[in-house]
Amino acid sequence: MKKILAITALAAGFLGYLAGQFSTENHSTAGLEEVVALPAGASHYVCPMHAEIISNVPGGSCPVCGMDLVEKETGESTDKVEGMPVVTINPSVVHNLGVRTARVRLGDLQRSIETIGKITRVDPMARRTITPPIRGELVAIADKQDGDFVTEGELLFSVKSDELFEHEKAFQDAYQSGDRATANAMIPQLSKMGLTPEQISQLQNGAMPHMPVDVFAFEDGYIYTRRGRVGEKVHTGFTLFNVGGNYRVIEVTAEIFERQWGWVAQGQQARMTVRGLPGTVFTGEVVRVEPPVGYTTRSLEVALKFRSENPELSQSMFAHVSIAGQPRKHVLLVPLDSVIRTGQGDRVVRVQGKNRFQPVEVTTGEDANGLIEIRSGLKEGDQVVSSGQFLIDSESSLLAGFRRLTTPGATRPEQQPSPRHADSHRTTYTPASRL
């Protein structure tokens, strides 16, 4: 008898278990029978944890996790906006996310070249040889002797030349006759022969075309050598003065990458730091750009000179060199942090209006000093998000998925057995209690 009762109890328990399982499965899938296309601009309700659970009826809950469904706009409106969907965010949420914006502006992108250089020479007796720029006759020379001090801008000597006077006369005649094209073409030659812009301007105003070439001291220093006298014939290789300061000249050789070849030119400013001298910055300039290019390294060699009185600098030391490259003028600039890098390209989040944002694709150029060039996709005066843009971009991507699924005329996909496996499409959920 006891054996029969035990078997009966086990059978009843097993049947009850099967009935419970069947009831649960029917309840969990009861609201997943229909996938409908939501109308444009309509509100829908989505599970915060399971984006595939969507309902067009308020007050429902997620059958997977039990969370209440929250209202959400489809991202479509009567006014069509090209590109990715526009995201509207509550002002308090914008504040909590720390969203900051920046304006797209037109400006110059100051490029900088960072590289490693090597000190190749240290000249303890820095001097500069000063020679006349043209062949002619000395008409004046400074009354200075070896060891005397000269200041920057002080007149050292003047040279006159019949050839120079002929060029001055031809330039003045062309300018006064109205042949400005010929006159402008002669200005570079006059500058090369030693005339200053002030002297050229005087010739344009009718001054006598018999101006000599004046040579001035380029810096404060001492005279080491002085040669020549008034009336003596000199040529372009004749040394009239040797002037130098109380400092050493440090020569540095550095290499730059192929993409930076067009950024550097002779005369550009440079800064140098040495690891063994922390906090010390040396300023100099580019004195030579070598034309040959390393075939294997694809690099360009640059020679720089720095002035220093620091005795700790020595030959063969390595240094970090920063060269102020040629700027890109009149380009659109935005903060570098505002650009979102993706596998499909670059984009930024543009401010469409009050608390309305839209990701847009852009074509970027070079970047430097925290700014990046925008070549297409934006215009001057646009506002972009420079902080918090990744969350807004993710939200817009989610809305784009909703928009593709809620387009009128969408076909009904096959019914899925469970929302856990609905990974290929979005499922519209209607609570079982409202069926």
> Is residue 332 predicted with pLDDT exceeding 50?
yes
Mean pLDDT of 153-165: 90
Please indicate, yes or no, whether residues 99 and 141 belong to a single structural domain of this protein. Answer: no
The enclosing H or E element of 97 equals helix 91-97
Please indicate, yes or no, whether residues 182 and 155 belong to a single structural domain of this protein. Answer: yes
The 10s digit of each residue's pLDDT in 250-284 is 899 998 887 777 788 888 899 999 988 888 999 99
Please indicate, yes or no, whether residues 175 and 204 belong to a single structural domain of this protein. Answer: yes
Which residues lie across from 115 on neighbouring strands? Answer: 321
Residue 405: CB partners within 8 Å, gap ≥ 6? 37, 425, 426
67 domain residue, yes or no: no
Mean pLDDT of 145-159: 88
d(CA 62, CA 73): 18
232 domain residue, yes or no: yes
The 10s digit of each residue's pLDDT in 7-29 is 666 666 665 555 554 444 443 33
18 domain residue, yes or no: no
Question: 303, 326, 349 — which closes off a domain?
Answer: 326
Please indicate, yes or no, whether residues 163 and 261 belong to a single structural domain of this protein. Answer: no
CATH code where residue 223 lies: 2.40.50.100
341 domain residue, yes or no: yes
d(CA 35, CA 20): 27
d(CA 300, CA 79): 54
CB atoms within 10 A of CB 99: 21
Please indicate, yes or no, whether residues 300 and 384 belong to a single structural domain of this protein. Answer: no
Question: 244, 263, 292 — which closes off a domain?
Answer: 244
> Is residue 327 predicted with pLDDT exceeding 60?
yes
60 domain residue, yes or no: no
3-state secondary structure of 314: coil
Residue 206: CB partners within 8 Å, gap ≥ 6? 172, 176
Please indicate, yes or no, whether residues 272 and 306 belong to a single structural domain of this protein. Answer: yes
Q: Which of 38, 115, 77 minimizes the C-alpha distance to 427?
A: 38
d(CA 364, CA 333): 10
The 10s digit of each residue's pLDDT in 341-362 is 888 888 888 988 888 888 888 9
For residue 121, give its domain range.
Answer: 112-125+247-326
3-state secondary structure of 236: coil
Of 27-31, 60-64, 84-88, 156-160, the one with minimum mean pLDDT is 27-31
Please indicate, yes or no, whether residues 373 and 393 belong to a single structural domain of this protein. Answer: yes
Residue 283: CB partners within 8 Å, gap ≥ 6? 269, 270, 271, 272, 306, 307
177 domain residue, yes or no: yes
The 10s digit of each residue's pLDDT in 179-199 is 888 888 999 888 888 888 888
d(CA 74, CA 93): 19
Please indicate, yes or no, whether residues 389 and 336 belong to a single structural domain of this protein. Answer: yes
CATH code where residue 288 lies: 2.40.30.170
pTM of the model: 0.48
365 domain residue, yes or no: yes
430 domain residue, yes or no: no
> Is residue 122 predicted with pLDDT exceeding 80?
yes
> Is residue 208 predicted with pLDDT exceeding 70?
yes
Split into its structural domains, the chain has a count of 3
Residue 18: CB partners within 8 Å, gap ≥ 6? none
d(CA 349, CA 352): 9
Please indicate, yes or no, whether residues 232 and 256 belong to a single structural domain of this protein. Answer: no
Please indicate, yes or no, whether residues 119 and 256 belong to a single structural domain of this protein. Answer: yes
Please indicate, yes or no, whether residues 320 and 177 belong to a single structural domain of this protein. Answer: no
Of 103-117, 321-335, 373-387, 391-405, the one with minimum mean pLDDT is 391-405
Please indicate, yes or no, whether residues 276 and 229 belong to a single structural domain of this protein. Answer: no
Of 56-60, 61-65, 75-79, 390-394, the one with minimum mean pLDDT is 75-79
Question: 244, 266, 298 — which closes off a domain?
Answer: 244
Residue 247: CB partners within 8 Å, gap ≥ 6? 126, 307, 308, 309
Taken as a whole, the chain contains a residue count of 435
> Is residue 214 predicted with pLDDT exceeding 50?
yes
**Under 8 Å between Cβ of 255 and 269:** no
3-state secondary structure of 232: coil
